[in-house]
């Protein structure tokens, strides 16, 4: 993990990302130390509020406790539904957080968030690592796009239709000699992941971020 030094009280704050006529909520979990890597969390189609709010707060808090600046992006706030642009704008916002190490930025995406993460990471070289859990290939995504990905960690249930994405990306990245890791949850589908496996998957993502940012 990138050097994150000093000590102060950690904090969680709500900020607004504004660009054009868009206003997007960001929850930033900041360890308040120097030179902290940044991880941007991209939620799935079920959203980041309601039943999923506690889960994403827990993810971000865990990252903060491990020395990362973690950002939950409410990208469904985007009027234009150009969610890729919203995440790219969030990266630009993150670069300007005073104690952020702008050379160490990672993305974590679940399901729809993984699809968005693949698009962003293939287009924006500021993203140094990508983790996708049950994500799908974006429409039109090609092997040439995969060639632009940073080191990538892919998680899928063996009975999840996202396995098609994992297998395709795995083959492309192997052909391209690009670094990647995979984790397959045997016998599980897209939404039937028990809490203990969800926790194990998350712990694997945190390890991946600590080892590569």
H helix intervals, 24-103: 53-65, 83-95
Structure tokens at 16: 């607004």
The correct answer on CATH 3.40.190.10 for the domain covering 11-212 is no
- pTM as predicted: 0.93
Considering only CA atoms, which of 136, 146, 26, 37 is closest in space to residue 86? 26
Q: Residue 7: pLDDT above 50? A: no
The pLDDT tens digits of the residues spanning 65-114 come to 999 999 999 999 999 999 999 999 999 999 999 999 999 999 999 999 99
Contact 72, 43 (CB under 8 A): yes
The pLDDT tens digits of the residues spanning 121-132 come to 999 999 999 999
């Amino acid at each position: 993990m990138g050097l994150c030094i000093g000590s102060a009280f950690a904090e969680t704050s709500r900020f607004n990302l504004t660009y054009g006529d868009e206003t997007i909520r960001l929850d930033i979990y900041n360890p308040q130390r120097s030179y902290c890597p940044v991880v941007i969390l991209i939620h799935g189609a079920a959203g980041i509020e309601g039943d999923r709010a506690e889960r994403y707060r827990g993810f971000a808090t865990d990252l903060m406790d491990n020395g990362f600046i973690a950002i939950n992006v409410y990208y469904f706030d985007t009027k234009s539904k150009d969610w890729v642009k919203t995440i790219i704008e969030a990266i630009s916002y993150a670069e300007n957080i005073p104690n952020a190490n702008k050379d160490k930025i990672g993305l974590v995406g679940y399901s729809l968030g993984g699809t968005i993460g693949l698009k962003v990471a293939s287009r924006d070289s500021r993203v140094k690592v990508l983790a996708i859990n049950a994500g799908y290939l974006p429409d039109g995504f090609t092997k040439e796009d995969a060639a632009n990905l940073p080191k990538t960690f892919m998680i899928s249930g063996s009975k999840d239709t996202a396995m098609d994405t994992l297998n395709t990306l795995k083959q492309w990245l192997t052909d391209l000699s690009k670094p990647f890791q995979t984790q397959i949850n045997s016998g599980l589908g897209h939404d039937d992941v028990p809490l203990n496996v969800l926790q194990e998957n998350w712990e694997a993502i945190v390890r991946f971020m600590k080892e590569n940012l």
